[in-house]
Structure 1
Amino acid sequence: MIRLFVNDELKAGAPIAPGMEASRYLIAVMRLAIGSEVLLFNGRDGEWRATVVDPDKRRCRLTVGSRVRAQETGPDLTLVMALVKRGRLETIIEKAAELGAARVQLVLTRRTNADKANVERLQAIAIEAAEQTGRLDVPEILPPVKLSKLIEAWDSTRRLMFCDETGGAPVLQALSGAEGGPWAILIGPEGGFDPEEAERLRAMDCASVVSLGPRILRADTAAISAMTLWQASVGDWRG
């Protein structure tokens, strides 16, 4: 069944009017008609069944029925991602949503090879990925900040898995015995971290410095690998 993220409050009998793009997708692309059912979620109220009552492809209308799943929250995981080229960054956002990240904080480092990001488009990609994966929330995409500012304002209660291309402990070893709670994974730009940046990161009391293996990984591969290993060790893949 089609899943759709909405910002509206979800409760039995509530009318929902998706935007033009969502309406066109439901009616013109998926060819839903009066009486067709979809699943709705908003990240707050769980997942609800809804019925098409007006199949206008420019502004269709739905009526909310019964709740099928209560709201759930995933792990408190932030992916801190240096800006990379658009195509790879979009892939990273999609996979971060699929792999359960709660948010993605974009960051500017000294060797970042991109200087801007279309946060609105990246958020739309995250929403689409959340719709397809069955999760009941959508990761928040946060605008880019300088790495130095991020380090200065870091909440020390959030553990940091610093993926350092110059070396560190194997991930599974570094995370052995680690517990859940607030975590972040930091992936640098394709040019790597500046030595001074790496030194500051290694000096953080909350940081676990890890290696992602003997081969040089592109940023998107590194992000996916790191999140996968973290989920298997500390996150909600443990059953």
Structure 2
Amino acid sequence: MPDYDFNSPRLFVADALTAGGTVSLDATQANYLLAVMRLADGANVLAFNGRDGEWRCHIARTAKKKADLVAEERLRPQTPAPTLAYLFAPLKHARLDYMVQKAVEMGAGILQPVMTQHVQASRVNVERMRANAIEAAEQCGILSIPECREPMKFDAALQAYLPRGPFIFCDEREDAESPIETLRRLEKGPLSLMIGPEGGFSTEERTRLHAETGVTAISLGPRILRADTAAVAALAVVQAAIGDWKCVS
């Protein structure tokens, strides 16, 4: 990674970012900068909106508890959003928050909850998912907020994502062949990665997955992993074998 400013606060904003342009801050953002971070008028802040790259801005205080940002200079151009789709059986609250944040850090571009037979949580708060995705992107220098999609049933998810390109699923019953070698044999293209619930995929779901053309099963080794741990492990393996880690020099 090139030199990066890890010291300045970083915010995702909705407004366009142009040299000299003013960016409106909502009450939560203004409170974070002025009351939590205790930043003064004129202090530097990094801002991004998923369209215009990352900009160095300064705080322009408008009232005791209100402020705008004024964009000064673009530091990084906008890069294409990641095409990796991460499909997962929802977990409960805190562990789902953690999993979403880590998936964003690991380069997921689409977050797709899938309602499997053994799923733990029957409801998903998509707005909460997006809030966690934004927080992770702000903290980790990411320029695009992943798409946080509404939950889909298992069969519908396969119909929607199989045509995109290579479809990978983590199978706890798969022989422990090196996942790196398995993944390197796949064709290039937008990737979809599916991880099941704590109880694993049902027999019917595993049979369906193995029967589909274009689906590749991988093992995550000899240990049993919880779903949020499996997410980090699987995304690391995929990115190292055929993802954007291969592009890093």
TM range, smaller chain: over 0.9
Give 1:195's aligned residue.
203
Partner of 2:58: 51
Q: Residues 162-173 of structure 1 correspond to what in structure 2 (within 5 A)?
A: 162-168=169-175, 169-173=177-181
Q: 1:55 & 1:232 partners in 2: Cα distance?
A: 47
Asked if 2 retains the 8 angstrom alpha-carbon contact of 1:39 and 1:50, the reply is: yes
How far 1:57 sits from its partner (Å)? 5.8
Contact kept? 2:166, 2:186, Cα under 8 Å: no
Please tell me whether the aligned partners of residues 75 and 235 of structure 1 are also in contact (alpha carbons under 8 angstroms): no
| Displacement of 1:58 | 3.9
Partner of 2:190: 182
C-alpha change, 1:52 and 1:187, in structure 2 (3 Å) is: same
For 2:72, give the aligned amino acid: G
Match of 2:224 among 206, 216, 227: 216
Cross-structure match for 1:227: 235
Q: Is the 8 A contact 1:27 1:55 kept in 2?
A: no
Q: Which runs of 5+ in 1 are unaligned?
A: none
The residue number in structure 1 matching 2:92 is 85
Match 1:3 to one of 5, 10, 33? 10
Partner of 2:136: 129
Residue aligned with 2:197, SS: coil
**Contact 1:83–1:117, Cα closer than 8 Å, also in 2:** yes
Counterpart of 1:186, as a letter, is: M
Q: Structure 2, unaligned stretches of length 5 or more?
A: 1-7
Cα deviation, residue 157, structure 1: 3.3
Separation (CA, whole Å) in 1 of partners of 2:17 and 2:168 = 36
Aligned Cα root-mean-square deviation (Å): 1.5
Change in 2 beyond 3 A, CA 1:55/1:152? same
Higher mean Cα deviation, 195-204 or 147-156?
147-156
1:155–1:209: structure 2 CA closer, same or farther, 3 Å change rule?
closer
| Counterpart-to-counterpart distance in 2, 1:57 and 1:132 | 26
Pair 1:159–1:205, CA change in 2 (3 A): same
Per-residue CA deviation, residues 42-91 of structure 1 (Å, 9 max, x unaligned), is 11110111111116464311111111110112541011010112221111
The whole-number CA distance in structure 1 between the counterparts of 2:203 and 2:63 is: 57
Whether 2:149 is the aligned partner of 1:146: answer: no
Q: 2:79 — aligned with what?
A: 72
Instruction: Give the Cα separation in 1 of the matches to 2:76 and 2:161.
Output: 35
**Aligned match of 1:24:** 31
Q: In the alignment, which residue of structure 2 is the partner of 1:60?
A: 67
- The equivalent position to 1:12 in structure 2, one of 14, 19, 31, is 19
Identical counterparts, % of pairs: 44
Q: Which has the higher helix share?
A: 2
Tell me the matched-pair count: 239
Using the size of structure 1 for normalisation, the TM-score is: 0.95
Q: 1:46 to 1:35 in 2, by over 3 A?
A: same
